[in-house]
Chain A
Amino acid sequence: MSFSNIRREDASRAVIVHAILLTYTLVALYPIFLVVINAFKTRKGIFKDPMGLPNADTFSLEGFTKVLAKSDFELFFYNSFSVTIITIVIVLLLAAMAAWALSEYKFPGNTVLALYLAIGIMVPIRLGSVSILNLIVDLGLINTLTALVMVYVAQGLPLAIFILTEFMHQIPKDLKEAARCDGVGEFKIFFAIILPLIRPAVATVAVFTMIPIWNDLWFPLILAPGDGKQTITLGVQQFIGQYVTDWNAVLASLSLAIIPILVLYLIFSRQLIRGLTSGAVK
């Protein structure tokens, strides 16, 4: 009897949990859905029936034609893409190496250093915007993508190091020692054994690092607002005017902006396979 009670309790709990998660998913996805459907409508269609799907009367690609023909969309796209990719590569490499050092080598100040890096997770980098701007101006890097990359690397590192350190702790000690007995150097151990083993964690960190960078408006606005250096989020702003907003163009470019991040996400998420270490030990 008690057994069936437990089953029933479990089932009702599962229903509640799923209901909450489904609601949250709907709330999160609906605005994106709205953006995408309205991107395919005429201006009239958008204002008349903002929630409706495009139909024969309201369907139009005018937003996309405008964006692609009348703006430097390809350039914005290229800027965003290169800043994101370069940052991810640098963050992953540096964070993985730092995590390896923190988790594998015992040296004085190890814990203090790890704590210092963890503080970076708690303090938003935007609090330092003014000093960052000063610094970038002094370095003569204003209006360059380099400035953005540098700031984003600093922003991404703390969380990346934190997550990767935890994962590296889980790699069996025997594996590293077996490699050392095999005569493998420390760099080779890191690149040929440790990195392949924490691939799922690296993919997770890549996703976490990539999304805020792609979506960021703040730093492009203050560090690289000049012509030719605008990222996609900043580029879209030209369609938003003080008196008139070209909603077709805004929604179309936002829809287009979703695509690359979605592709990157799919690439990384394929790496998130569990059980990669099975068979290593025992």
Chain B
Amino acid sequence: MADLKLDQIRKSYGAVDVLHGIDLDVKDGEFVVFVGPSGCGKSTLLRIIAGLEEITGGDLMIDGEVVNTKSPRDRGIAMVFQSYALYPHMTVYKNMAFGLKLDKQDKAAIDARVREAARILQLDQLLDRRPSELSGGQRQRVAIGRAIVRQPKVFLFDEPLSNLDAALRVQTRIEIAKLHQDLKSTIIYVTHDQVEAMTLADKIVVMNGGNVEQVGSPMQLYHHPETRFVAGFIGSPAMNFTKVTIDAVEEGKVTVAIPGGIKSVLPFDVPSAAVGQQVELGIRPEHLALGDVGELTVSGVVDVVEKLGDSTYLYLNLANGDRVTVRAPGHSRVKMGDTVTASAPAGAAHLFNGEGKAFTKVDCPAEFSADDI
């Protein structure tokens, strides 16, 4: 069990900079998820923590000790790979015991540890099988078991669920969450799937282009995204964005002109110098409701209808060409080609400046705030 500290970690491959100075604190027992689009550097960062990639600059500390040049073994980490990476010529038992045998531990102790891990992961019946005789989910559990038996300071998971089918993914996700509760160990988990990130993490690190965009709890990222990128990445379907112009600024209030002539007053702290600038307004599909009931109103022609049972997603084409997604109730009778009006309360809005940075919301209503969660 250990703290982990990243101090200005940089990584370059030749002239190509992949990571541009990452700072991060991971507390003992925390479940941290790195999330981001492909190529954002999240896997590279994980491999740097594992010791599989050299650090170009900065310091990596585990338990207060700089481990930049230490081998993976001496760092006390265990890694679970996306491809499982089980030794194909060894049985499940040997796969799990292989790393321990090298530590010259006595046989009985190794045996006890392997059987305990097998019990936790319900692999008891499979110990004599080879990886080729296991299903995908079982292989993944063996890979996790191989990590558990080593009793590492930090567990590293590299997209462990992406090779599983949808049903198994949900099941294994729950198992990993339970495992974290039982083991109380520090876990760093890489995924591109924001649902995994939201459901598993104590702390999410959103990465983009080799930089950390934002670090926070799942609800913080959902309700208070600091950048347009985070706002668009967290939440499914993605947040709606539309360009608006700042019309007037008062203390804690900003009036924006929405394309189509409507003006709305929103609760944001905006510097008065911003009047006349173009900014971006974001609203989540689930905060929009059909009808003219909130302060922010859009209307458009329904282009596509997706029925999910519990809810229905409507994809509207606005007059100015923007596309807006609305989450309607499952029993909605709206059809393709209908013209509908949807609206949201002003408190649900997000406002981002030209560089994609969020303006601070004031007097945030409880339903749109992560303060007490």
Chain A residues packing against B (C-beta within 8 Å): 172, 174-175, 177-185, 188, 192-193, 196-197, 275-282
Contacts of B89 in A (CB 8 A): 193, 196-197, 276
Q: Which of A182, A196, A277 is close to B98, meaning CB atoms less than 8 Å apart?
A: A182
CA–CA, A180 and B150, complex, Å: 13
B83 touches A (CB below 8 Å): yes
B72 touches A (CB below 8 Å): yes
Main secondary structure, interface of B, reads loop
Q: When A175-B85, A188-B102 are in contact, do A278 and B132 touch as well, CB less than 8 Å? A: yes
Contacts of A182 in B (CB 8 A): 73, 78, 98-99, 102, 146, 150
Q: Does the CB pair A193–B83 fall under 8 Å?
A: no
CA–CA, A166 and B335, complex, Å: 59
Min distance, Cβ A202 to any Cβ of chain B, angstroms: 13
Q: Does the CB pair A281–B83 fall under 8 Å?
A: yes
Contacts of B133 in A (CB 8 A): 279
Q: Does the CB pair B81–A174 fall under 8 Å?
A: yes
Min distance, Cβ A173 to any Cβ of chain B, angstroms: 9
Identity of the chain B residue whose Cβ is nearest the Cβ of A184 in the assembled complex:
B102
B276 touches A (CB below 8 Å): no
14 extra interface residue pairs, beta carbon distance < 8 Å, beyond A178-B79, A181-B51, A280-B84: A174-B84, A175-B85, A178-B81, A178-B87, A181-B73, A183-B102, A184-B99, A193-B87, A197-B89, A275-B132, A276-B89, A279-B133, A280-B86, A281-B85
Min distance, Cβ B100 to any Cβ of chain A, angstroms: 9
Q: Does the CB pair A282–B163 fall under 8 Å?
A: yes
CA–CA, A197 and B172, complex, Å: 29
Contacts of B51 in A (CB 8 A): 180-181
Identity of the chain A residue whose Cβ is nearest the Cβ of B131 in the assembled complex:
A279
Identity of the chain A residue whose Cβ is nearest the Cβ of B86 in the assembled complex:
A280
CA–CA, A279 and B146, complex, Å: 16
Chain B 76-106: CB-based contact to A (< 8 A → 1; otherwise 0): 0111011111111100000000110011000
Q: Does the CB pair A178–B88 fall under 8 Å?
A: no
Identity of the chain A residue whose Cβ is nearest the Cβ of B163 in the assembled complex:
A282
CA–CA, A279 and B130, complex, Å: 8
Identity of the chain A residue whose Cβ is nearest the Cβ of B75 in the assembled complex:
A181
Q: Does the CB pair A279–B99 fall under 8 Å?
A: no
B112 touches A (CB below 8 Å): no
Min distance, Cβ B278 to any Cβ of chain A, angstroms: 47
Q: Does the CB pair B88–A276 fall under 8 Å?
A: yes
Q: Does the CB pair B52–A280 fall under 8 Å?
A: no
B319 touches A (CB below 8 Å): no
CA–CA, A193 and B102, complex, Å: 14
CA–CA, A193 and B87, complex, Å: 7
Contacts of B136 in A (CB 8 A): 282
Q: Which of A179, A184, A188, A277 is close to B88, meaning CB atoms less than 8 Å apart?
A: A277
Identity of the chain A residue whose Cβ is nearest the Cβ of B132 in the assembled complex:
A279
Contacts of A280 in B (CB 8 A): 84-88, 131
Q: When A172-B83, A279-B133, A282-B163 are in contact, do A183 and B88 touch as well, CB less than 8 Å? A: no
CA–CA, A177 and B88, complex, Å: 14
Min distance, Cβ B329 to any Cβ of chain A, angstroms: 41
CA–CA, A184 and B90, complex, Å: 15
Q: Does the CB pair A180–B85 fall under 8 Å?
A: no
Q: When A182-B146, A276-B88 are in contact, do A282 and B98 touch as well, CB less than 8 Å? A: no
CA–CA, A183 and B52, complex, Å: 12
Contacts of B84 in A (CB 8 A): 174, 280-282
B134 touches A (CB below 8 Å): yes
B122 touches A (CB below 8 Å): no
Contacts of B163 in A (CB 8 A): 282
Identity of the chain A residue whose Cβ is nearest the Cβ of B149 in the assembled complex:
A182
